[in-house]
Homo-oligomer: A and B are copies of this chain.
Amino acid sequence: MSETKILLPESDLPTHWYNVVPDMPNPPAPYLGPDGEPVPPDALGAIFPPGILEQEVSTERWIPIPEPVREALKLWRPAPLYRAKRLEERLGTPAKIYFKYEGVSPAGSHKPNSAVPQAYYNHVAGIHRLTTETGAGQWGSSLALAGQLFDMEVRIYMVRVSAEQKPFRKSMMELWGGEVIPSPSNLTQAGRDVLAKDADNPGSLGIAISEAVEEAAGRDDTNYALGSVLNHVLLHQTVIGQETKRQLEQVGDYPDMVFAPCGGGCNVGGMMFPFIADKAAGRDIRLVACEPASCPTLTRGRFTWDWGDSIGLTPLMKMYTLGHDFMPPGIHAGGLRYHGVSPLVSQLHAEGVIEAVAPQQLATFRAGQLIAQTMGIIPAPESAHAAAGCIEEALRCKETGEAKTLLFTLSGHGHFDMAAYDKYLAGELDDYDYPEAEVAAALERLPKFEREPV
């Protein structure tokens, strides 16, 4: 009888992060200032510690993971790889399906993989206070946990409407010692400006980022931490793909196709980058990012320069974008409601290395339910996007009779998303049409340059 879970001992936790940059077809585009000129990395020194800034621009293929970070990751890593036999049988597919389960972390997703090193590098730089933003709460709770492990105060600006809708994510952050501030708040100029115009503003991720960055930039004792998009975050997540490769080796297998959910891109980078080394060496493997049909950045967006936040505080990044002030519809996969996507993932998509699909909301909840009913685990709605992409391919294999090996990242559990499943079971969820007119309008508001950057 084959194994259901393929486990690794703690001694097999990776010793290095894998940096995809040397294996990319072209070097990554630099970050630009509003004048179209490259921004030197140390310009971000007011909000990031030196260890993080070095990683952001490193061209080394392997970057050592500090031992205290490895020790902290061992609280839940290595994460199990599952062979989803019961799912294969239910689908009647000849395909083999594996999934990497990142929901075993205390915060319930892959996010602590980067929160822990970010807290660590700030700690060794003598910083003992961090700010960040959170929407649905996955990142905020991960940073609160990491702060607790490295003796760090953490203030989290949480989108006000999310804080009200997800009170238990807030409790989780507070239990780990985090301070949760509903955003917009009166603590920052950005927040006060918003409230002056609209005292009942429900908040947005863009506003929360602005508040967190403003506070970190204005206080010597405080830095800022971001949960996706940037190179160093994707780097930290590569423990996922490295472990998975080792686990598949143990059972003598290798994937034909890999699926990961795609919002800011840290799941895609975390799982797929370690496979890109093989692909660059000629291995036949397809890498498929799975984004929401309602917020289809890679599949329908424009590859150009845009801001990472909604109001233009960050440097300009060359990425697929739907326009920095595009407001995605209110789907339940809150972690995927982002106008852009990691510059590294964007460039690899433009170069044909990473593909993308955009499943509809109902297909993702059907996939989540099927995983729950066959494998027990209840996936987060974000993770269900990768499951949906994988299941669609498995059903294609059923038609063609191909015995492909498929792999997806089950990036987190849905224990704090049961209200969404409730609506799904009650038939109250809908698919969303692609908001074509809103995207077109947002793309009109992209930054303009006197001279187009090269």
Given A5-B74, A71-B1, A419-B168, A105 contacting B376 (CB threshold 8 A)? yes
CB pair B422 A171 closer than 8 Å: yes
Per the 8 Å Cβ criterion, residues 133-154 of A in contact with B are: 145, 148-149
**Cβ contacts under 8 Å, A171 to chain B:** 418-419, 421-422, 425
Kindly state the separation between the CA atoms of A26 and B43 in the bound complex, as whole angstroms: 77
Q: Mark A179-195, 1 if CB is under 8 A from B, else 0.
A: 00000000000000000
Assess whether A219 is interfacial by the CB under 8 Å rule: no
CB pair B175 A376 closer than 8 Å: no
Partner of A5, one of B4, B10, B168: B10
Nearest-CB residue, chain B, relative to A369 = B175
Partner of A376, one of B67, B106, B418, B421: B106
**Cβ contacts under 8 Å, A172 to chain B:** 378, 418
Kindly state the separation between the CA atoms of A279 and B415 in the bound complex, as whole angstroms: 40
Given A7-B7, A175-B372, A378-B172, A104 contacting B106 (CB threshold 8 A)? no
**Cβ contacts under 8 Å, A71 to chain B:** 1, 4
Per the 8 Å Cβ criterion, residues 156-179 of A in contact with B are: 167-168, 171-172, 174-177
Nearest-CB residue, chain B, relative to A75 = B376
Q: Mark A336-378, 1 if CB is under 8 A from B, else 0.
A: 0000000000000000000000000000000001001101111
Assess whether A94 is interfacial by the CB under 8 Å rule: no
Q: In the complex this chain forms, how many copies of it are found? A: 2
Assess whether A330 is interfacial by the CB under 8 Å rule: no
CB pair B106 A175 closer than 8 Å: no
Given A7-B7, A108-B415, A148-B373, A378 contacting B75 (CB threshold 8 A)? no
Assess whether A249 is interfacial by the CB under 8 Å rule: no
Distance in Å: Cβ of A145 to nearest Cβ of chain B: 6
Partner of A175, one of B7, B145, B378, B419: B378
**Cβ contacts under 8 Å, A1 to chain B:** 67, 71
**Cβ contacts under 8 Å, A7 to chain B:** 7, 9
Partner of A176, one of B4, B105, B373: B373
**Cβ contacts under 8 Å, A149 to chain B:** 86, 376
**Cβ contacts under 8 Å, A416 to chain B:** 415
Nearest-CB residue, chain B, relative to A420 = B171
Assess whether A76 is interfacial by the CB under 8 Å rule: yes
Assess whether A444 is interfacial by the CB under 8 Å rule: no
Q: Mark A385-420, 1 if CB is under 8 A from B, else 0.
A: 000000000000000000000000000000110110
Kindly state the separation between the CA atoms of A452 and B376 in the bound complex, as whole angstroms: 48
Assess whether A284 is interfacial by the CB under 8 Å rule: no
Kindly state the separation between the CA atoms of A3 and B375 in the bound complex, as whole angstroms: 28
Q: Mark A111-126, 1 if CB is under 8 A from B, else 0.
A: 0000000000000000
Distance in Å: Cβ of A65 to nearest Cβ of chain B: 14
Q: Mark A64-102, 1 if CB is under 8 A from B, else 0.
A: 000100010011100000000010000000000000000
Kindly state the separation between the CA atoms of A107 and B415 in the bound complex, as whole angstroms: 10
Kindly state the separation between the CA atoms of A31 and B204 in the bound complex, as whole angstroms: 62
CB pair A372 B10 closer than 8 Å: no
Distance in Å: Cβ of A140 to nearest Cβ of chain B: 14
CB pair B145 A376 closer than 8 Å: yes
Kindly state the separation between the CA atoms of A421 and B10 in the bound complex, as whole angstroms: 31
Kindly state the separation between the CA atoms of A76 and B5 in the bound complex, as whole angstroms: 8
Distance in Å: Cβ of A34 to nearest Cβ of chain B: 41
Kindly state the separation between the CA atoms of A75 and B5 in the bound complex, as whole angstroms: 7
Given A4-B10, A373-B177, A418 contacting B75 (CB threshold 8 A)? no
**Cβ contacts under 8 Å, A175 to chain B:** 369, 372-373, 378, 418, 421, 425
Top 7 A-B residue pairs of the complex, sorted by shortest distance between their CB atoms: A106-B376, A168-B418, A415-B415, A4-B74, A171-B418, A171-B422, A75-B376
Pairs A–B under 8 Å by Cβ, sample size 13? A3-B74, A4-B71, A5-B74, A107-B376, A108-B415, A168-B418, A168-B419, A171-B418, A171-B422, A172-B378, A172-B418, A175-B378, A176-B373
Given pairs A3-B9, A4-B10, A175-B369, 17 additional interface contacts (CB within 8 A): A5-B10, A7-B7, A75-B375, A75-B376, A167-B419, A168-B415, A168-B418, A168-B419, A168-B422, A172-B378, A172-B418, A174-B422, A175-B373, A175-B418, A176-B372, A415-B415, A415-B416
